[in-house]
Amino acid sequence: MPAAEAERVDLYRQLQSQAEFFERQSAIIKAAAKLIGPTVVFVQADASYRAAQAPRGRRVEEAGSGVIVELQGKRYVLTARHVIGGIPPEGIKVTLADGRRFRPDRIWEDPETDVAVMGVSAPGLVPAPLGDSDRLEVGDFVLAVGSPFGLSNSVTLGIISGKGRRDLDLGDSGVRLQDFLQTDAAINPGNSGGPLVNLRGEVVGITTAIASRSGASEGVGFAIPINLFLAVARQLIEQGRVTRGFLGVTLDGEFGPAMAVELGLPRPLGARVVQVTENSPAAAAGLRVGDVVLQFGGVPVENDSHLVNLVSLTPAGKQVELVIFRDHRTQVLRVTVGQRQ
């Protein structure tokens, strides 16, 4: 056998051996994709309803994705609110993985978090396993599953690139409460509302937005953590609306790490109080102007918008421990969160 041919044969054998390792790894991805596939749906919104009912300038996607889950013994479809954009059930069509189509019985929405839940009564709906988004770490592998450009059950692979992404400019979407997961898994138009899945096949997020100059995926996608999504969804189903927590303070929007270091804070982050409303939960707890809130309910506070998110997503009536910085030392206060009017 000529030397060149022998070298090619040897190289081919090496590749077979090395490929087996990667094939074992990809088997996990294949299994997760196979498990989640039957739970993912294609969501279409009738453009005529969009034109008639959407506020001027409001962009409502004509197509997106969703995922079937089981909550309190019933099946629902979770999706991103901007996908359906306030359109009534008769203007929405949901296509299952097996090709069946139906319209939702009822829709619940929360524009501030981009959460939408659709009630469904079709038989044989397969619910997705639900994961714990609080356990995610940067570097964890995830799959984004959905219908980009109408291509149903498309799967892309990536990692969690970041957590707690806030203050994103999402145009006029109305999404004020942001605590997004960031991923480099390709997310394109039509993916919105579909699940972000870990390698166990569990839903850990609902895709909602991308950062892109072209309108297509550039490796910076965002998803609502499933724990946050479910907390809002359960309130919508049980109460028909979401109650927001209220503290009763005005915060310093200019306060940042540099000023925190100047004050000698134990950590260069937090939210500085510049006003306390009379007879508010904050006043009752003893918060004062100049206090810097370092922790809320055991969660380190990064900045003013982070504290607003934490408070807003806390049920009214819940007692929460605050760690504050006052007079060059940390103190602990307890506050009973009020209800935002």
What is the three-state SS of the chain?
CCHHHHHHHHHHHHHHHHHHHHHHHHHHHHHHHHHHHHHEEEEEECHHHHHHHCCCCCCCCCEEEEEEEEECCEEEEEEEHHHHCCCCHHHEEEECCCCCEECCCEEEEECCCCEEEEECCCCCCCCCCECCHHHCCCCCEEEEEECHHHCCCEEEEEEEEEEEECCCCCCCCCCCCCCEEEECCCCCCCCCCCEEECCCCCEEEEEEEECCCCCCCCCCEEEEEHHHHHHHHHHHHHHCCCCCEECCEEECCCCCHHHHHHCCCCCCCCEEEEEECCCCHHHHHCCCCCCEEEEECCEECCCHHHHHHHHHCCCCCCEEEEEEEECCEEEEEEEECEECC
> Residue 37: its pLDDT value, please?
95
Domain segments of the chain: what residues?
A: 37-119, 133-239, 245-339
Residue 133: count other Cβ atoms within 10 Å of its Cβ: 24
Residue 58 clears pLDDT 50, i.e. is over it: no
More confident residue, 38 or 191: 38
Express as a percent the part of the chain with pLDDT over 90.
56
More confident residue, 314 or 125: 125
Instruction: Give the residue numbers marked as catalytic.
Output: 82, 114, 192
Among 11-20, 59-68, 122-131, the least confident range = 59-68
> Residue 7: its pLDDT value, please?
83
Look up the CATH superfamily of 245-339: PDZ domain (2.30.42.10)
More confident residue, 56 or 78: 78
> Residue 9: its pLDDT value, please?
84
CATH 2.40.10.10, domain 133-239, yes or no: yes
Residue 73 clears pLDDT 80, i.e. is over it: yes
> Residue 221: its pLDDT value, please?
86
Round to whole Å and give the CA distance between 45 and 30: 30
Residue 153 clears pLDDT 90, i.e. is over it: no
Residue 330 clears pLDDT 60, i.e. is over it: yes
Q: One-letter amino acid identity for 182? A: Q
Round to whole Å and give the CA distance between 115 and 69: 14
CATH 3.30.980.10, domain 37-119, yes or no: no
> Residue 57: its pLDDT value, please?
43
The pLDDT tens digits for 201-227 are: 999 999 987 665 555 555 688 999 999
Domains 37-119 and 133-239 share a fold: yes
Residue 320 clears pLDDT 70, i.e. is over it: yes
- Mean of the per-residue pLDDT values of the chain: 87
